[in-house]
Structure 1
Amino acid sequence: MPQILIIDDNPAVATALEVLFSLHDIDTMHADSPQAGLQALAAQAFDLAIQDMNFSADTTSGEEGQALFRQIRAAHPDLPVILLTAWTHLGSAVELVKAGAADYIAKPWDDAKLLTTVNNLIELSEARRELEHRRMREQRNRDQLQGRYDLRGAVFADPASERAIALACQVARSELPVLITGANGSGKEKIAEIVQANSQVAHGPYVTLNCGALPAELIEAELFGAEAGAYTGANKAREGKFEAADGGTLFLDEIGNLPPAGQMKLLRVLETGRFERLGSNRERRVKVRLISATNADLPAMIRDGSFREDLYYRLNTVEIALPPLAERPGDILPLAEHFLAAGKPLAASARTALQRHAWPGNVRELRNVIQRAELLAPGDRIEAADLNLPRPAPARPSPAAEPDKVRIEQALARAGGVIAQAAADLGMSRQALYRRMERHGIAPK
């Protein structure tokens, strides 16, 4: 049950508030002086405090209320505080709201308005507390990962990244092939490094090949090697990536670009560990841990006949799906600060702009934006204008755009589960959002 602290020297005011809140399943505690209120706050946790502005007899300046509020704010910076004020010191209350008070209520108050304000603040307080607990759990999980595994300097704070990295660590000791999927620039190479660094062959060779960076006719020779004269320009025998990676790990990026003949040979290597160089009939044998990555839709390529289904299932024994940066908002600022080379800090405006941008180029785009801004920013801080990001599209949908389940869940995720904030993001009232959440079966967090 939510609990409110009422700090007021007038017993009649305290009793009226206690009766009002008890009728709505809100527990209250009364303190009749600033000192008693501060002692109560030090002794236990409250969801909200309601304080008067004057306590001494024949005092109407509001100075006592100002002093009390500032003491509460200093000791409990996240506690919502509502000020009970008479019209004679309304100006003082307004100044305190600017200083961080949640709201002010004039005496005599309107019960309905007061209840609405209190319920909203309690909801926000509970959501903030849950968010803080969740952040602490996530930080513990990250600390455990970093303590147990070599994460290759990965920078992350978002739960989606944490899940992908945890899965990479979990499957690293296995010999099974791993397929990493995700958009260009999302960080698939870093996931591959983590798998390799924590594998049983971590001290063996780590060989990489980007299948999308070579002409189709040369990929086979790169993978399996070639004898002299096997193709035009092959003046001497050459070792392929599989031979170079024997006893270690081979990382094949953009595996969807592998031509059909290469796909067939790769499937055979995965099944038997055997292959022949181009232009040779001599069979060679290797033992290689294979990690592959792609930004392509391999199931769609299977349907149109450009990728072998049997190879897909051999590669996809374990799949690690890395979401784009836009779906890992908790990573944006930590990564941005990681990319700062000269120590020039990000201004608040820059932080806001970074979090609002859609990042179609993912982590790669973020790195380029930060490096350019740090180089060209004229001041001693990086401002939003220095980032040279396009103006964000309006966040609120048009009235005719009914948000679907995905948009509602995304808004809730961005707001950390705070209903009021998510509703504002979607351009609707809290009540309307609750109705749509119930309709789509989305439980409040």
Structure 2
Amino acid sequence: MPIVLVIDDNPAVATALEVLFSLHDLQTLHADSPEAGLALLEREPVDLVIQDMNFRADTTSGDEGVALFEAIHARHPDLPVVLLTAWTHLESAVGLIKAGAADYVAKPWDDHKLLTTVGNLLELSASRRELARRRERELRERHALERHDLCGTIWADPASERVLSLAVQVARSDLPVLITGPNGAGKEKIAEIVHANSAVRAGPFVALNCGALPADLIEAELFGADAGAYTGANRAREGKFEAADGGTLFLDEIGNLPLGGQVKLLRVLETGRFERLGSNRERQVRVRVVSATNADLPALIAEGRFREDLYYRLNAIELKLPPLAERPDDILPLARHFLPAGKRLQPGAERALLRHRWPGNVRELRNAVQRAALLSPGEAIEAQALGLPAAASVPVPAPAAEPDRAQIEAALAGAGGVLAQAAAELGLSRQALYRRMDRLGLRREG
């Protein structure tokens, strides 16, 4: 239940507000002097303060209220303070609004408007606290993430951070990991991070692109071959599993592995044993397998092109890496990282980068930036140097019309001063409406 502190030397005012707030699930605390109010704020958690402007019977200047607000604001800058003032002190109240007071209410107050003001301020304050907590949590999580070996990864987007956090978490396990995502999105970098934070990080990291080899050579690459095992095999050769013994084997484009190779891979995953092509001698290895694909493996299973039992064996843990278009906050940091020393992007070039869909993902971004840097004679890179086709750009929506003073006043009048309703009618959040009202010097009555 939100807590409202009323600082007023008039017991009748405190009682009236306590009764009013209790009917609307608000708890009220009362202090009859500035000193008592400040002391209570140090002891109790308070969500909002309503304070009078005068406390001694022989004083009507409002100076006590000003001093009280300044003391509260200095000690609790994020605490909303509503000033309870007579009409004769409106000028002082307006001055305090500019100094950071949340609002003022003239005596005698209108119960409905006061409740609306208090409700709006409590909601806004709760939103700000939640935002601050979320930012603090995100900062804490980011610092925790940066304590791991991220292999020089550049990122800024929350979607990337979620993948990285999960990658360093699953790295501690020895279970197989399947990384899914489009070509060029950075799946091998995620595999490197898994290895760098695993129990076998001191061992080798060996990568094999199953889509870059003819089908009849993939098994030899994986498991090795004795001399004479196939045409051209003039001497025995070590396979990737032997090379990766004690470390990590990264199998990219695993969906391209032939069915025969899939059977042998399943056996290695289950037993750690295999034979080279052309050999009857069984070999034993200890390898952490990380695989990746841009293919729809369940669809390949339905077509009989991929073994279902292997899929579930590889997919003990899945890391889904989104395409670059779904990680827009990564685009500019990556682009700047790819720039050679002494080169910089002009604002127009940065806008062009943000508009592009990046079907080729990070690989396409790197190539575009490095090509533009090469073709730009000076240090500044303009948009046209990027060579991005207009057809591949995301259309930029026209900005929504900014409501003017008359529209805001009309919406407030039509909503009876209820800010939530007025904001909805204007197509704004309540916080956005607050900012516009402050900028235009409009009173927040609700």
* TM-score under structure 2 length normalisation: 0.63
Q: Report the CA distance between 1:253 and its aligned residue.
A: 2.5
Deviations 1:137-184 (A, max 9, x none): 66666767777x656567889987777556545554544322233455
Q: Label 1:42 to 1:365 Cα distance change in 2 as closer, same or farther (>3 A).
A: farther
C-alpha distance in structure 2 between counterparts of 1:94 and 1:285, whole Å: 83
Q: Report the CA distance between 1:4 and its aligned residue.
A: 1.0
Query: Which protein is bigger by CA-based radius of gyration?
Result: 2
Q: Label 1:65 to 1:197 Cα distance change in 2 as closer, same or farther (>3 A).
A: same
- Establish whether residue 311 from structure 1 lines up as the match of residue 313 from structure 2: no
C-alpha distance in structure 1 between counterparts of 2:38 and 2:335, whole Å: 39
Partners of 1:332 and 1:355 within 8 A in 2: no
Q: Secondary structure at the match of 2:24?
A: coil
C-alpha distance in structure 2 between counterparts of 1:356 and 1:30, whole Å: 56
Partner of 1:2 in structure 2? 2
Q: Which moved more, 1:162-171 or 1:309-318?
A: 162-171
C-alpha distance in structure 2 between counterparts of 1:224 and 1:395, whole Å: 58
C-alpha distance in structure 1 between counterparts of 2:395 and 2:151, whole Å: 35
C-alpha distance in structure 2 between counterparts of 1:239 and 1:304, whole Å: 33
- Establish whether residue 102 from structure 1 lines up as the match of residue 94 from structure 2: no
Deviations 1:270-307 (A, max 9, x none): 34521434xx4565624122111234332122223332
User: Among residues 51, 61, 78, which one is paired with 1:59 in the alignment?
Assistant: 61
Q: Report the CA distance between 1:22 and its aligned residue.
A: 2.0
Q: Report the CA distance between 1:5 and its aligned residue.
A: 1.7
- Establish whether residue 247 from structure 1 lines up as the match of residue 246 from structure 2: yes
Mapping for residues 299-338 of structure 1, pairs under 5 Å: 299-322=298-321
Matched to 1:208, the amino acid is A
Matched to 1:4, the amino acid is V
C-alpha distance in structure 1 between counterparts of 2:361 and 2:35, whole Å: 53
- Establish whether residue 208 from structure 1 lines up as the match of residue 210 from structure 2: no
- Establish whether residue 285 from structure 1 lines up as the match of residue 297 from structure 2: no
Q: Report the CA distance between 1:24 and its aligned residue.
A: 1.7
C-alpha distance in structure 2 between counterparts of 1:97 and 1:132, whole Å: 23
C-alpha distance in structure 2 between counterparts of 1:260 and 1:334, whole Å: 42
Q: Label 1:98 to 1:359 Cα distance change in 2 as closer, same or farther (>3 A).
A: farther
- Establish whether residue 178 from structure 1 lines up as the match of residue 177 from structure 2: yes
Q: Report the CA distance between 1:114 and its aligned residue.
A: 1.9
Partner of 1:406 in structure 2? none
Q: Report the CA distance between 1:110 and its aligned residue.
A: 2.3
Q: Label 1:92 to 1:327 Cα distance change in 2 as closer, same or farther (>3 A).
A: farther
Partners of 2:155 and 2:334 within 8 A in 1: no
Deviations 1:401-442 (A, max 9, x none): xxxxxxxxxxxxxxxxxxx8xx97996999xxxxxxxxxxxx
Mapping for residues 34-45 of structure 1, pairs under 5 Å: 34-45=34-45
Partners of 1:177 and 1:291 within 8 A in 2: yes
Mapping for residues 229-240 of structure 1, pairs under 5 Å: 239-240=238-239
Mapping for residues 71-220 of structure 1, pairs under 5 Å: 71-86=71-86, 90=90, 93=93, 96-97=96-97, 100-130=100-130, 132-133=132-133, 168=167, 171-183=170-182, 188-212=187-211, 219-220=218-219
Q: Report the CA distance between 1:17 and its aligned residue.
A: 2.0
Matched to 1:42, the amino acid is E
Partner of 1:433 in structure 2? none
Deviations 1:239-277 (A, max 9, x none): 432232123210123323434454344334434521434
C-alpha distance in structure 1 between counterparts of 2:381 and 2:20, whole Å: 56
Q: Percent identity?
A: 68
Partner of 2:222 in structure 1? 223
Matched to 1:43, the amino acid is R
Partners of 2:82 and 2:101 within 8 A in 1: yes
Q: Report the CA distance between 1:71 and its aligned residue.
A: 3.9
C-alpha distance in structure 1 between counterparts of 2:360 and 2:33, whole Å: 57
Q: Secondary structure at the match of 2:198?
A: coil
Q: Label 1:21 to 1:76 Cα distance change in 2 as closer, same or farther (>3 A).
A: same
Deviations 1:59-100 (A, max 9, x none): 26xx66555444433322322223335556656655654554
Matched to 1:112, the amino acid is H
Deviations 1:116-135 (A, max 9, x none): 23223323434544555566
Partners of 2:335 and 2:366 within 8 A in 1: no
Deviations 1:338-386 (A, max 9, x none): 96999x9xxxxxxxxx99999988777999999999x7599xxxxxxxx
Aligned length: 381
Mapping for residues 297-376 of structure 1, pairs under 5 Å: 297-322=296-321, 376=380
C-alpha distance in structure 1 between counterparts of 2:108 and 2:360, whole Å: 56
Partner of 1:417 in structure 2? none
- Establish whether residue 266 from structure 1 lines up as the match of residue 268 from structure 2: no
Partners of 2:209 and 2:251 within 8 A in 1: yes
Partners of 1:157 and 1:334 within 8 A in 2: no
C-alpha distance in structure 2 between counterparts of 1:337 and 1:66, whole Å: 51
What runs of 5+ residues in structure 2 fail to find an aligned partner? 344-352, 374-378, 383-392, 401-419, 431-446
Q: Label 1:168 to 1:304 Cα distance change in 2 as closer, same or farther (>3 A).
A: same
* Coordinate RMSD, CA, aligned: 5.3
What runs of 5+ residues in structure 1 fail to find an aligned partner? 345-353, 379-388, 397-419, 431-445
Deviations 1:300-355 (A, max 9, x none): 222233322222122123334456688889x869978996999x9xxxxxxxxx99
Q: Label 1:289 to 1:102 Cα distance change in 2 as closer, same or farther (>3 A).
A: same
Partners of 1:84 and 1:107 within 8 A in 2: yes
